[in-house]
Structure 1
Amino acid sequence: MSGYPDKHSGHMSAYPPRRADAQLNRDRIVQKAREMVREPGELKLNAVAKACGIGQGTLYRHFPTREDLLAEVYRHEVDELVAAAPLLLARHQPVEALAAWFDRVAAYARVKRDVFAAVEAGTWRDLAAHSLGPIGEAVELLLSAGRAAGRIRPDAEARDVIVLISWLSRLDDAELDARGARLLAILVDGLRA
């Protein structure tokens, strides 16, 4: 495909790169929507525009529908989660990197739960299918480093970890706050060699 490289996704785009101010607006919209999706009730695009201090036309140029915006919030969260794995491995021993990554998984689980509750079933299925590969690759990166160091059990598979951490997005905030860290610590201990 010919086109322009997208500096955020790495994929080719049919559209030219955004101006710096347009990209700042887009980033601000996504961040504000991420914060607001946790609030009770339906996420309203006009409320997001107002909270960002921009006009509705600017928001609609970036995100024509509410589902477009929520899908981008989710994609952004997945991208940050996946990018964290190699950074954590560069700073920590494998098991500690995995534990720190699981701390990020808890925040991701909240966003996933809130976004999936707000979009139609077809959209969340597409989003889940899109994120499974990159998240699985991040988990495998962390597990492989731990296996190579002799700190993670040799039979640990990324798919098993994904099944276990997926339950976090089914917990409400109170339960996630009360039990999330303990559940992830149990998972880390179960993965140790």
Structure 2
Amino acid sequence: MKKAFDVAVSGAFWILGSFPILVIAMVVKASSRGPVLYWSDRVGKDNRIFRMPKFRTMRVDAPVVATHLMTDPDRYFTPAGSFLRRTSLDELPQLYSVLKGDMSMVGPRPALFNQYDLIGLRTRKGIHRLLPGITGWAQINGRDDLPIPEKVELDNDYLRRRSFGFDVKIFLETFKKVANRQDVSH
């Protein structure tokens, strides 16, 4: 049921969102030098590394670390980057990763390849066995503001409670959070 939901929803978003996706790609290209997409090495199911696409929101010379670890992330944003992050539109290319099978619509967010503390905690709790998601239980309960141990506890709660109904609840709640720009710091 989850796989069918993932394919149906991501496919529908690709079809219905193709025009906005094209417009965003043109804005990214026109507003800064560099590629339209940023391919990030992420940790997927069973701690396997995969390449996850996002619309590029940072300058090409930005350090390869989580944004919240930067001392002054604002200086690295492209002209459209901050808006794309606040509205989560930079995440749209991840629909490709869902169709490819590297990600799900709902699950723990994939860790950066160098977030060893997050990877270690998730592995100890068995969370690494899950397919990572575009959105997840931790994202609708704090997103950028949560310390890593709290994110892992919410991911573990998702692991215990996961069901199709719970995924639908998280998916719908995500839209409310994004529309209200709640819990998004950049």
Could you tell me the TM-score, scaled by structure 2's length? Answer: 0.29
Between Structure 1 and Structure 2, the one with more helix by share is 1
The higher-RCO structure (CA 8 Å, 6+ apart) is 2
